[in-house]
Amino acid sequence: MIKPLFNLLILTLFSTIASAQNFAFGDYSQKEMDMKRYDADTSAHAVVLNEYGTSTINEVADERIKIIYEYHVKIKILDAKAFDKGTVEIPFYTESDDSYENVSEIKGITTYKDDDGIIQRAELNPSKVITVKENKYWSSLKFALPNLRSGAIIEYTYQHTTPFWDKFHAWHFQDDIPKITSMYEVHIPAFWSYNVLLRGSLRLTKNTSKLETGCFSRRGATCDCSHIVYGMENIPAFVEEDYMTSPKNFLSAIYFNLFEYTNLNTGSKILVTKDWKDIDYNLKHADYFGSQLRRKDLLKQYITPVITGQATELAKAKAIYAYIQKNIKWNGLNSRGSDDGIRKALDKHTGNVADVNLALVTALNSAGINTEAVLLSTRTNGLINKLYPVENEFNYVIARTTINGTSYLLDATDPLLSFGLLPLKCLNDQGRVMSLDKPSYWIDLVAEHRKKSTSSLDLTLQNDGKIRGTITTYSIGYQAYEKRKAIKKFNTIDEYVENLDEQMGKIKILKSEVQNLDSLDLPLSEKYEIEINAFDNLNHTRLAFNPFIFDRLIANPFKLNERNYPVDWGMPSDNRVILTMHLPENYVVENFPQGVAISLPNTGGKFITTFNVEDNGFTFSNMTQFSKSIYIPEEYPYLKEFYNKIISAEKAEIIFKKKS
């Protein structure tokens, strides 16, 4: 009974100390050195023993007020797989000359047992710290801690200063290795206010705040500070799962967003973010956004020839969409704001996402088609918080046009996307509609189209054991988009078909016809005349035939017994195949598998097969349908089992027997 009491004592003691203090640099205990594995997670290759950070806002040497962030971590390296933790890279922003960020006060030390088992220390030599200019905007500081071995403890600390008050350091409690203690202490003078947001499912084990009186002063202006400590203990490692959206949405972390500050010269309060009204106002007047949307007249000269002769509003909109797709090549950069303006993007034929899509919005409006811009955050960028507005959480912008009461979401950055089809990366919860004359509002960003294909096969078993016939496939929605991308990887359709033929092994393509490759609004149609080298000859009493000729599922994509995060495919899918088989006179269907009909709960999906024996042959049909985009962890076991059943069903073979 003594033990719990003792623990409690330590905890109280600990929290009083921790509320005000970093842990001492270079300290270690014999117990930490002797540690062979981390009991709470024996799969860990390393564990953070202690992690501490602090952020303050203060005047620095050059008399400017900056955010000073100090980071200090001590990591136990359990085995060689975690040696990468000993190579550290700290990025910092260095674009403009007068407001650049800075990293300094780097100290590092490795504590390890030498060959004789004696504990040794090796300090990081400052001359081994390297600064690299990565690109126009970013530099990084890199170093490798010396004398790393399994069982070593590495420790390092650095200071990062930034003049950008809206870049108050977030704190990531959770990482790919577990942590025993992680503590973040912030001192925020009352001249600045931040919104604080905690993400992830883990709870803070410490959250104290108190007022520090008169802690900040500059040229006579004095204020108090909030001193807040956030802490977590025994934080598990984050384990990524397949088919999930951005881990960012689930990782436990705390974020700070500048909400207002006081101009220290005038004493007036500057509101950075208050509510959507302010963001709307800012965006409407920003060069990188609203100004671009107002350039309707400027785009007239480009647009007029494009829409000449187009009768309906929809036809006009499609023509403009195709024009922008073709004429501004996306440079691969995501952005919610235009870089050099849409005019320049049109003239130079290149631009970021906002250049392309704001040009689209403006072009449509200049043709009199009512269109708004929609800000969003891509899947990898994570979900937008809905508690309070933060403009820089958005990293992408698309167009939303309304024609005859129907709305279409448009992204012109990829010339293969059909009108109204959003790429998967944009299908992320909700987007914020921005227009010049209305307050902004949320809309859902869900797939309007399925990933759909239907194939029909008409095949005949020949006397030489080969199967001949035709296959016709229509790809619709996302399936058509993916197919088009695959075909366009080749220089011509012929080269695509040749490659397909070469890859299909026993199936030879005798003739092909691919239609609507460039008519993005129509289903992509492929028609192939094929020959399958099915049997060496027909001198057998029985022949086994598996009707799942294409894309037969062999392995279950889901292996885990349970999941923590949803399976998110982004869109529903639907795949249908109808096969008609004609047999030679002297063969009959002896045996065919039972039809199967299975479904997911809550109409989440279906898998259906049917067989019908007919004169001299049979027909077989199959439908696989997933009607949801997202399956929550509770649905996961059903989804996994659904796949098992599909795999079992697809093993079934039809037996043909020679008539005696």
Partner 1 sequence: MRVICTTFCLLMLIMFANAQADYNVSLISKDLLPYASAVIRNKDVTIEVKDADNTIYHIKTALTVLNKNGDDIARVVIWHNRSNIIRYVKGALYNEFGQLTSKFAEKDFADVNAASDMSLFEDSRVKHYTPSTGSYPYTIEYECELRSKQSLNFDDWQPNEAVGLAVEKSSFTFICKPEFNIRYKEINLPPSVITGTTKDGLKTYTWQVTNLKAIKEEPYSPNRDKYLSTVKIAPENFKYEGISGTFTNWKELGKWTYDKLLANRQALPPETVQQVNTITNGIADPKLKAKKIYEYMQNKTRYISVQIGIGGYQPFLASEVDRLNYGDCKALVNYTQALLKAANIQSWYCVVDAGSRKVSLLNDFASMSQGNHVILCLPFKNDTTFLECTSQKIPFGFLSDFTDDRTVLACTPEGGKLMHTPKYTAQINSQVRKAGFTVDTNGMLTGDVTTIFKGTQYDNHDDLLDEPVNEQIKILQKRYNAINNLDIGKCNYKQEKNELPAATETIKLSARDFATTENGKLYFSINPLNRTIKTVRDVRNRSNPVYINSGYTDEDEITYTLPTGYHSDLSPLNVSVEKPFGTFKATMVLNGDKLIFKRTLQVIDGTYSKDSYHDLVEFYQTVVDADNYNVTLVKN
Binding positions for partner 1, rule: CB under 8 A: 42-43, 45, 79-81, 83, 86-87, 115, 122, 128, 130, 132-136, 142-144, 146-149, 326-329, 331, 348-350, 488-491, 495, 498-499, 501-503, 505-506, 540, 542, 544, 546, 554-556, 559-560, 591, 593-594, 643-644, 647-648, 651-653, 655
The Cα 307–Cα 367 span in angstroms is 8
The Cα 71–Cα 193 span in angstroms is 22
For residues 409 and 445, the answer to whether their CB atoms sit within 8 Å is yes
Q: Is 85 or 400 the residue whose CB approaches partner 1 more closely?
A: 85
The Cα 509–Cα 470 span in angstroms is 9
Nearest approach in angstroms of CB 36 to partner 1 is: 13
The Cα 414–Cα 432 span in angstroms is 21
CA 452 vs CA 475, 512, 517, 573: distances in Å: 6, 21, 16, 6
Nearest approach in angstroms of CB 55 to partner 1 is: 28
Q: Is 30 or 42 the residue whose CB approaches partner 1 more closely?
A: 42
Q: Is 274 or 349 the residue whose CB approaches partner 1 more closely?
A: 349
The Cα 432–Cα 120 span in angstroms is 57
The Cα 512–Cα 498 span in angstroms is 10
Nearest approach in angstroms of CB 533 to partner 1 is: 8
Nearest approach in angstroms of CB 263 to partner 1 is: 36
Nearest approach in angstroms of CB 644 to partner 1 is: 6
The Cα 336–Cα 377 span in angstroms is 9
Nearest approach in angstroms of CB 491 to partner 1 is: 6
H, E, C per residue of 299-323: HHHHHHHHHCCCCCHHHHHHHHHHH
Residues recorded for the chain: 660
- DSSP-derived letter for residue 266 is T
Nearest approach in angstroms of CB 289 to partner 1 is: 23
Q: Is 11 or 132 the residue whose CB approaches partner 1 more closely?
A: 132
Nearest approach in angstroms of CB 19 to partner 1 is: 36
Q: Is 275 or 551 the residue whose CB approaches partner 1 more closely?
A: 551
Nearest approach in angstroms of CB 507 to partner 1 is: 10
Nearest approach in angstroms of CB 434 to partner 1 is: 27
- DSSP-derived letter for residue 86 is G
- Residue 421, judged by CB atoms within 10 A of its CB (0-12, 13-18, 19+), counts as buried
Q: Is 261 or 587 the residue whose CB approaches partner 1 more closely?
A: 587
The Cα 174–Cα 468 span in angstroms is 58
Residue 323: φ, ψ to 5°: -65, -45
Nearest approach in angstroms of CB 350 to partner 1 is: 4
Nearest approach in angstroms of CB 195 to partner 1 is: 34
CA atoms within 13 A on the CB side of 127: 0
Residues 6+ apart with CB under 8 A from 265: none
Q: Is 63 or 562 the residue whose CB approaches partner 1 more closely?
A: 562
Nearest approach in angstroms of CB 540 to partner 1 is: 7
Q: Is 62 or 115 the residue whose CB approaches partner 1 more closely?
A: 115
Nearest approach in angstroms of CB 126 to partner 1 is: 13
Among 647, 640, 596, which Cα is nearest to 621's?
Answer: 596
Tokens 């072009």 label which residue? 363
Query: How many other C-beta atoms lie within 10 A of the C-beta of residue 563?
Result: 21
The Cα 528–Cα 472 span in angstroms is 6
Nearest approach in angstroms of CB 648 to partner 1 is: 5
For residues 590 and 540, the answer to whether their CB atoms sit within 8 Å is no
- Tokens standing for residue 514: 């691919």
Nearest approach in angstroms of CB 53 to partner 1 is: 24
Q: Is 79 or 339 the residue whose CB approaches partner 1 more closely?
A: 79
The Cα 163–Cα 384 span in angstroms is 25
- What are the percentages of helix, strand and coil residues in the chain, rounded to 5? 20, 40, 40
Q: Is 25 or 137 the residue whose CB approaches partner 1 more closely?
A: 137
CA atoms within 13 A on the CB side of 517: 16
- Tokens standing for residue 427: 């299908």
- Tokens standing for residue 544: 């086994």
CA-CA-CA-CA dihedral for 316, 321, 322, 328, to nearest 10: 140
The Cα 548–Cα 475 span in angstroms is 18
Axis crossing angle, helix 478-488 with helix 493-503, rounded to the nearest 10 = 100
- Tokens standing for residue 341: 């303006």
- DSSP-derived letter for residue 441 is E
Q: Measure the CA angle with vertex 600, ends 594 and 605; round to 5°.
A: 85
- DSSP-derived letter for residue 426 is G
